[in-house]
Structure 1
Amino acid sequence: MSEAEASSSSYEYDPDADHAFPDHRLNAVLEYIENDPEITTYLEAQNVNPVARKGYNDHGTKHIEIVRNRALRLYELLKRGDVEFNGAGDQGLDEADESVIIALAATIHDIGHVVHRDDHAYYSIPLAADLLDRLLPEFYDDVGTRVRVKGEVLHAILCHHTEEDPLTTEAGVIRIADGLDMERGRSRLPYERGGRGINTISSQAIESVSLHEGDGTPVLVEIKMHNAAGVYQVDELLKDKLHRSGLEDDVRIVALNTSGDDSQLVERIEL
């Protein structure tokens, strides 16, 4: 028995607790994936091609933690704003499966980087499918439910960084959350190794990203940057993620230049 199989066989999930605790299924899935040796190894290994070999920003464990946390925060705020999530609903799944789909997609959306940085979203699909085939039986007895959850997770993974538009709210959340990991810490490794590409330099300019309940929209994203180099992260990368997410009317993004220098060309960007 492999190490991953041993980890799975020792895990016990109590589906009866789902009725008493709305977040029980999500919390159980999070506990499982955070302690699964195969998944944790993927999250480490997927950083080699983008960072060590191509000098791009971090795409490893820390990136995944940030994307997953922000995806679940987006989900919370959008639900509070009565935004409909159609991925699980269209498939006849439980409302509790919405956050599970989001958490799983956020966790394994970048594992295709172990194959290559270029077109990594497409390489993520078969690798993620294998992981889901092993993981989902721990939480769903019905094969039909497993197939539907798997399909929704793969849809969200595919649409995070490709020409295919998200067809579900869950997938739109993953697309935006992926673009919200932009602070300077993400570019630390390539910057220290001499990387000076636009992705690295622009990330160095971003101080913080915070998500709040909006005034007029369910979500307000506030981004603080200390110089105009951060404009690339906001106006080029994040703008594309937002405008093709299906959530353009529900998420407002405001970026502020906090340098206090009156000579700065950019003081505020709003998407």
Structure 2
Amino acid sequence: MSEQDTDDDTAGRVYDPDADHSFPDERVNDVLERIEDDDEIQALLAAQNVNPVARKRYNDHGPKHISIVRNRALCLYDLLKRGSVPFNGAADQGLEEADEAVIIALAATLHDIGHIVHRDEHPYYSIPLAADVLDRFLPGIPSYDVEERIRLKGEILHAILCHDTEEEPLTTEAGVVRVADALDMERGRSRIPYEHGGRGINTVSSQAIETVRLQQGDDSVVLVEIEMNNAAGVYQVDNLLKAKLNGSGLEDDIRIVAVNTHQEGDRIVERIEL
């Protein structure tokens, strides 16, 4: 689960299975290993990038995007748990606390596989495809019986559907996946379409984002710090991240600060806060 970062720059960005966490992590760490070894899942993640990138000249939605979203979802989850934010997805289903992270990890992994059908309306295509994957994948985890697999599958599919702003997350787990999807906004995500001449607002604005970091906040549970090199990055922050945060159920727990680090000439935007 690498993001091509240096060791000193991974805090709040890359989930480390060997670190101490504010939640029971043995179950999700086992699931993460199974995901990496699953040929079908890995093939889907590679194939889902064709429509958005090769055909639509849109930002990356392949294995790299999924790795970043899953990492940031688990880092965000860890910070929220440390701040005693309640989670209801697994609990409402009578599942264990250890299953919260499993729901988040699998939903983050499978949320975009609908792109193999079409970029447009992809969350709705992701649901039947993910359901088929989960029907095969979950029985391989010996700790779950039939009823637990059904309940877990429902929560994962709910989080996948609600990563899109058209649907309201009914669980904190789904809210985490929704926000984490928008936290993949750094310039590396738009490298391929940019190099091929793509100049849409998503591509240009993500070229302006240098770094996104998550950490404990002073007046909020989580502080998201975003460094951008020009004002075009405001689109990513305000139109995409803010839109995903709104309605996520985490609006009161996450504070977003974006700073323009460009030092030459007049800066249209120096700092914005959400």
TM-score normalized by the length of structure 1 = 0.91
Counterparts of 1:212 and 1:23 in 2: how far apart (Å)? Answer: 19
The answer for the alignment partner of 2:146 in structure 1 is 143
Give ranges in structure 1 of 5+ residues lacking alignment. 1-20
1:233 equivalenced with 2:236 (yes/no):
yes
Alignment of 1:60-209 (within 5 A): 60-139=62-141, 140-209=143-212
Cα deviation, residue 129, structure 1: 0.2
Highest Rg: 1 or 2? Answer: 1
Cα deviation, residue 22, structure 1: 3.1
Contact 2:165–2:244 (CA under 8 A) maintained in structure 1: no
Cα deviation, residue 196, structure 1: 0.5
The answer for the alignment partner of 1:13 in structure 2 is none
Classify the secondary structure of the residue corresponding to 1:177.
helix
Counterparts of 2:243 and 2:52 in 1: how far apart (Å)? Answer: 21
Paired letter, 2:163: H
Paired letter, 2:50: V
Contact 1:121–1:162 (CA under 8 A) maintained in structure 2: no
Kindly indicate which of the two structures has a greater share of residues assigned to helix: 1
Cα deviation, residue 193, structure 1: 0.7
Classify the secondary structure of the residue corresponding to 2:84.
coil
The answer for the alignment partner of 2:271 in structure 1 is 268
Contact 2:24–2:97 (CA under 8 A) maintained in structure 1: no
The answer for the alignment partner of 2:226 in structure 1 is 223
Q: Which runs of 4+ in 1 moved over 2 A?
A: none
Counterparts of 2:61 and 2:124 in 1: how far apart (Å)? Answer: 16
Counterparts of 1:155 and 1:182 in 2: how far apart (Å)? Answer: 23
Counterparts of 1:206 and 1:22 in 2: how far apart (Å)? Answer: 33
C-alpha deviations, 1:4-23, integer Å up to 9, x for none?
xxxxxxxxxxxxxxxxx932
C-alpha deviations, 1:142-175, integer Å up to 9, x for none?
1110000000000000000141110000000000
Cα deviation, residue 92, structure 1: 0.5
Root-mean-square deviation (Å)? 1.0
Counterparts of 1:156 and 1:177 in 2: how far apart (Å)? Answer: 11
Q: Which moved more, 1:253-262 or 1:176-185?
A: 253-262
Give ranges in structure 2 of 5+ residues lacking alignment. 1-22
Classify the secondary structure of the residue corresponding to 1:264.
coil
12, 17, 24: which is aligned to 2:26? Answer: 24
The answer for the alignment partner of 2:42 in structure 1 is 40
Classify the secondary structure of the residue corresponding to 1:228.
coil
Query: How many residues are matched?
Result: 251
Counterparts of 2:48 and 2:167 in 1: how far apart (Å)? Answer: 22
Classify the secondary structure of the residue corresponding to 2:164.
coil
C-alpha deviations, 1:84-128, integer Å up to 9, x for none?
000000111000000000000000000000000000000000000
Contact 2:165–2:243 (CA under 8 A) maintained in structure 1: no
Percentage of matched positions with identical amino acids? 74
Cα deviation, residue 136, structure 1: 0.7
Counterparts of 1:110 and 1:53 in 2: how far apart (Å)? Answer: 16
C-alpha deviations, 1:200-258, integer Å up to 9, x for none?
00000000000001112110000000000001000101110011211000000000000
TM-score normalized by the length of structure 2 = 0.90
Counterparts of 1:117 and 1:94 in 2: how far apart (Å)? Answer: 35
Paired letter, 1:266: V
The answer for the alignment partner of 1:59 in structure 2 is 61
